Chain A
């Protein structure tokens, strides 16, 4: 299981660094951040927070783009290019395939995040003359955990939906929806009439609350770090959801005919 999963993960990671997407997004992020950082506002030196916020926003967008598109194409590409046939003709189970793809996409996005966050730390260090190591590590870690849920979700989507582009689009809508209003769904539910209210409440409790993993405000406003126990609990919460999505993906894929 683990052997096969890591072998598959290696392929995913190789694919990521042999494609241009990541470099394009990183260079774009770096350029835009540096460009914005170079603007003079009222001859005031050391204005840092807007650059931090902008850079983090770009990192979030870029990481989601990479995680979602990379994950969404994995299994459809295996099927379209028929590489899945020689693969599954070997002692690789379909569960191995799903777990291996998950691991590959997740580790690949983790590597991408490391690059992005190192860049972020360098930029802010240069402006604030201080790097909040603990807070930055938490932000990276939580971001990565969130991408675990995202990768699991998209992997499931790639088995349910036929076309990778529709899967990406739907995944994006769901992810952005959760990030933007997930926290407030209960309040919205309170203001609605009964049947809808209960439905919305159910949605509120069922969705993975990706917004937990967004620590951007804390680091933009230098508001310290989150409690470590909470980071630990959130890590477990993310792993549970990632596992759940993989399990459902496996259930769906297990008996599916391939051709």
Chain B
């Protein structure tokens, strides 16, 4: 299977926040591959370095050392992004636009042929259930609606690879289920999905493979089924073990 994402010996350091502090190592010597057609869960506690890794993949942050490529193209080339859909964490979209206008703008950037734009917009808005609000300014949206709009823009170009940073955050239970369905559907269409999440139950149901990151270091990576079978416990237990969490009750 072709490698869609390839991360090799990636290290990202941030300059020290305050005086006298050491540089902050956000990602340490990370190796990761995601193959075509996979749904890959990227796990780790807060501050583990998930978003930072994704930022490298999209060219927002330059690696201190190591390299990363998408579809075999170095991530610094904008070309690598034609086939990607990206949903950032905590993002607000142009508030003075309506969802429709926002999607039309992104469609233009992707050079989607004019005669396909409107049907594509209808499609994704229907998928994320925002049709009723398509002509409203984004600034009037609730948090969950904004998240849906974000998902819609990530899907507008019918991408082969989706990079989703906590796609279910801020969504209600139905919204979460919907996202799971979407991921499942994309998988059935043969797309690759790389996403981070804190919802381990959800990860367990949709992911083929996971990686668990702690303090910038890769703790474990493998197929979900294999991990569960080998360790004889569910993903949540594995996760807690990997990050070295000791329950005060069991101690």
Q: Which residues of A contact B (CB under 8 A)?
A: 3-4, 7, 10-11, 14-15, 18-19, 81-83, 85-93, 96, 255, 257-259
The segment out of B108-116, B127-135, B204-212, B227-235 that lies at the interface is: B108-116
The segment out of B42-50, B54-62, B182-190 that lies at the interface is: B54-62
Q: Which residues of A contact B150 (CB under 8 A)?
A: 86
The segment out of B79-87, B191-199, B217-225 that lies at the interface is: B79-87
9 smallest CB-CB distances across A and B, nearest first, come from: A89-B86, A7-B108, A85-B88, A258-B60, A93-B78, A18-B96, A91-B82, A82-B91, A81-B92
Contact call A83/B81, Cβ cutoff below 8 A: no
The verdict on B237 contacting chain A, using a C-beta distance below 8 Å, is no
Residue from the list B59, B84, B92 in contact with A82, Cβ < 8 A: B92
Residue from the list B84, B94, B97, B108 in contact with A3, Cβ < 8 A: B108
Contact call A14/B96, Cβ cutoff below 8 A: yes
Contact call A14/B90, Cβ cutoff below 8 A: no
Contact digits for B96-120, partner A, Cβ 8 Å, 1 yes 0 no: 1100010001101111000000000
The verdict on B24 contacting chain A, using a C-beta distance below 8 Å, is no
Q: Which residues of B contact A92 (CB under 8 A)?
A: 78, 81, 109
CB distance from A251 to the nearest CB of B (A): 15
CB distance from A254 to the nearest CB of B (A): 10
Q: Which residues of A contact B78 (CB under 8 A)?
A: 91-93, 96
CB distance from A22 to the nearest CB of B (A): 13
Do A86 and B86 form a contact, CB below 8 Å, given A4-B109, A92-B109?
yes
Do A90 and B109 form a contact, CB below 8 Å, given A15-B96, A85-B58, A255-B62?
yes
Q: Which residues of B contact A90 (CB under 8 A)?
A: 81, 84, 86, 106, 109-110, 157
Assembly CA distance A255 to B61 (angstroms) = 9
Q: Which residues of B contact A259 (CB under 8 A)?
A: 55, 60-61
Q: Show 14 residue pairs from A and B whose CB-CB distance is below 8 angstroms, ordered by the A residue.
A: A3-B108, A10-B108, A11-B94, A11-B105, A14-B96, A86-B153, A87-B109, A88-B60, A89-B58, A90-B157, A91-B79, A92-B78, A93-B78, A257-B61
The verdict on B95 contacting chain A, using a C-beta distance below 8 Å, is yes
The verdict on B71 contacting chain A, using a C-beta distance below 8 Å, is no
CB distance from A259 to the nearest CB of B (A): 7
Q: Which residues of B contact A15 (CB under 8 A)?
A: 94, 96
CB distance from B247 to the nearest CB of A (A): 34
The verdict on B141 contacting chain A, using a C-beta distance below 8 Å, is no
CB distance from B118 to the nearest CB of A (A): 16
Residue of B nearest to A255 (CB): B62
Residue of A nearest to B97 (CB): A14
Q: Which residues of B contact A4 (CB under 8 A)?
A: 109
Q: Which residues of B contact A81 (CB under 8 A)?
A: 92, 94-95
CB distance from B123 to the nearest CB of A (A): 18
Assembly CA distance A19 to B139 (angstroms) = 13
Residue of B nearest to A19 (CB): B96
Q: Which residues of A contact B94 (CB under 8 A)?
A: 11, 15, 81, 83
Q: Which residues of A contact B61 (CB under 8 A)?
A: 257-259
B109, B110, B111, B157, most chain A CB atoms within 10 A = B109
Assembly CA distance A86 to B58 (angstroms) = 10
Assembly CA distance A255 to B76 (angstroms) = 10
Contact call B92/A83, Cβ cutoff below 8 A: yes
CB distance from B116 to the nearest CB of A (A): 16
Told that A3-B109, A89-B88 touch, could you supply 8 new A-B pairs with CB distance under 8 A? A15-B94, A83-B92, A83-B94, A85-B88, A86-B91, A90-B106, A257-B61, A259-B60
Assembly CA distance A257 to B51 (angstroms) = 14
Assembly CA distance A89 to B155 (angstroms) = 12
Contact call B82/A14, Cβ cutoff below 8 A: no
Contact call B93/A89, Cβ cutoff below 8 A: no
CB distance from B24 to the nearest CB of A (A): 12
Do A91 and B90 form a contact, CB below 8 Å, given A86-B153, A258-B61?
no
Residue of B nearest to A17 (CB): B96
